[in-house]
Chains A and B, each alone.
Chain A
Amino acid sequence: MAISEQPKHRTRRRAAVAPAVHPQLASRTGAGGPSIVEFRGVSKLYAGDVGLDQATFSIQREEFVFLVGSTGSGKSTVMRLLIKELEPTHGMIRVAGRNLADIERKRVPFYRRNLGVVFQDFKLLPSRTVYDNVAYAIQVTGGSRKEIRSKVPDILRLTGLSTKLHNYPDQLSGGEQQRVSIARAFVNHPPLLLADEPTGNLDPETSIDIMRLLYRINRTGTTILVATHDQAMVDKMRRRVLELERGRIVRDDAAGRYTRDETTREFAQRLRAPSTPPPGL
């Protein structure tokens, strides 16, 4: 199981990761630390239909996990349960050790500030510029103007949008819009970033850029969960894969041995290379 080989990787990674991104992570004890996401026997029924059926899995901190499956298999249900847009019918969901059922409705916005969420349709605010879209995520938390002025340009530089600060979303390409959306999700440095079909509307080349960006964010210590049906991309990425089929977890493996410490450049090169079966398969 992928989980069992976690400690070794984590120890190796920690030397490579820039420290102090997540003080709370740095203080975590090495092996057997609490998982950041834990589903225990979670079911979700929609008016007679099964959205999720007895799903049990957990995701460790700093992991990069794919959630795959065809349409209607329950990927979006997992995502929507995690952002507490939906309540599970049965079972328990823990995020960072916190039982989601214990969070009352009023506190949900505060819980969501600990998550970064990226959607297939970007969900940008159409009446705001790129800069203001990202700034909104800080304003929501009550952040000061000073904080905005220091954080937003940084994150936009990281996502390669420095020249588009004052453009509105409808003046950007799909790839650029998704970068804005990722910048907004990451500007508060959440410990967990969820991406629901982030490349669903994008061409392959742009998709690689987006995945590379997500990988770069992963390397700063953020746990990333990506739902996708882009099987080719998943095969190339060689990261842990959870597969859903009609609401059930049918596969959970690391999809081959991969080098966790590869640079983003190597990573992108590998993704662009013609499809080769990953070693070990």
Chain B
Amino acid sequence: MRIGFFLREAVRATRRNAAPSFAALATVIVTMLVLGVFIPIVQATNGAANSVRSRVLVDVYMKTSANAAAEARVRKELIAVPHVKSVEFESKQTAYAQQSKVDPQAYQLLGTNPLPDTFHVIPDNPANVLAVRDALTPAAPGGGPGTIDAAVQSVSNKKNDTKKILEVTNLVTITAAALTVLLVLASILLIANTIRLSLYARRREVEVMKLVGATDWFIRWPFVIEGIVVGAVGALVAIAVLGITKVALLDPLAGNWTLIAAPRTIAFSALVSVLLCAGVLVSALGSGLSLRRFLRV
């Protein structure tokens, strides 16, 4: 009986205050649409940036004369260097096979294998790659870069490229995070403000209810229910629009355009539940909390 009463009250309030209710609904729909588009975009950007960063590593080239014992010794030494996560060995045969696949004609001309044995040194964090490189190239007695082991010929020197990649990917990640925070904040503020406006139009009603002897929660429940309904309906409409767009536009494109398909983004079902929860929660909490001011009679 009680719940039925609150539901009926909520429906009555929505019907009698159609304009503010519709404004709140429209706000929820628009913000949820923007969020729904933006979440996958941010994820794709971050994914792309991370995959670029994960390719940042230091190559250590062995002398062609190095034997298996030297290889084992150097591997041990490399792993001992701080910030090194792992070391991958690529023998000259593997390297040759791979490279001749890329450019068969050139390697046929060469005849012999000019490639050295190579260690790919992967840092624990892409940001530490330069420190690892410096550790691997201690200053030699005669100036100029030295090596950590007699069997090491040289260490790859792509300092500028590495630095640029790190800076750019950093910037992309930070910007995406900042935009996400701003967008979420804007959504909450926008929805809360619209709700507050629609409550302000009804503050007299709330005051009268209090004077007649209604308890706070007796007044609040219909408002919260209304908030839940508005939030759910708004999120559902936004989800429907997103779903139609995904099926009609993105899925056919994804086959041809790898950028859309490639980075691992949030699954559509997860996105739907996130949007639905966010819409209902913000809307219901906004209604319940904004009401507090008007309940102090």
Instruction: Show the binding face of A for B, using Cβ within 8 Å.
Output: 83, 85, 106, 109-113, 115, 117, 123-128, 136-137, 139-142, 144-145, 184
CA of A130 to CA of B170, assembled, Å: 65
CB-defined contacts of A140 to chain B, threshold 8 Å: 209, 212-215, 218
CB-defined contacts of A184 to chain B, threshold 8 Å: 212
Q: Is the CB of A127 within 8 A of B208?
A: no
Could you list 17 A-B pairs, sorted by A, with CB under 8 Å? A109-B213, A109-B214, A109-B218, A110-B213, A112-B210, A117-B211, A123-B211, A124-B208, A125-B208, A126-B204, A127-B12, A127-B16, A137-B213, A139-B5, A140-B209, A140-B212, A140-B213
CB-defined contacts of B297 to chain A, threshold 8 Å: 85
Q: Which B residues from 11 to 50 make CB contacts under 8 A with A?
A: 12-13, 16-17
CB-defined contacts of B213 to chain A, threshold 8 Å: 109-113, 115, 137, 140-141
B167 within 8 A of A: no
For B210, the closest partner residue in chain A by CB is A109
CB-defined contacts of B13 to chain A, threshold 8 Å: 127
For A181, the closest partner residue in chain B by CB is B208
Known: A140-B212, A144-B1. 11 other contacts (CB 8 A): A109-B210, A109-B214, A112-B213, A117-B212, A123-B204, A124-B208, A127-B13, A127-B205, A140-B209, A140-B213, A142-B2
CB-defined contacts of A112 to chain B, threshold 8 Å: 210-213
CB-defined contacts of A142 to chain B, threshold 8 Å: 2
| A125-B211 contact given A85-B297, A139-B5, A140-B218, CB 8 Å threshold | no
For A119, the closest partner residue in chain B by CB is B211
Instruction: Show the binding face of B for A, using Cβ within 8 Å.
Output: 1-2, 5, 12-13, 16-17, 204-205, 207-216, 218, 297
Q: Is the CB of B211 within 8 A of A137?
A: no
| A125-B205 contact given A109-B214, A112-B213, A136-B212, CB 8 Å threshold | yes
CA of A83 to CA of B211, assembled, Å: 8
For B2, the closest partner residue in chain A by CB is A142
Q: Contacting A126 at CB < 8 Å: which of B205, B210, B211, B218?
A: B205
CB-defined contacts of A141 to chain B, threshold 8 Å: 213
For B207, the closest partner residue in chain A by CB is A123
Residue with the highest number of chain B CB atoms closer than 10 Å, among A110, A111, A126: A126
CA of A117 to CA of B213, assembled, Å: 10
CB-defined contacts of A115 to chain B, threshold 8 Å: 213
Q: Is the CB of B1 within 8 A of A136?
A: no
| A127-B17 contact given A110-B213, A137-B213, A140-B212, CB 8 Å threshold | yes
CA of A184 to CA of B214, assembled, Å: 13
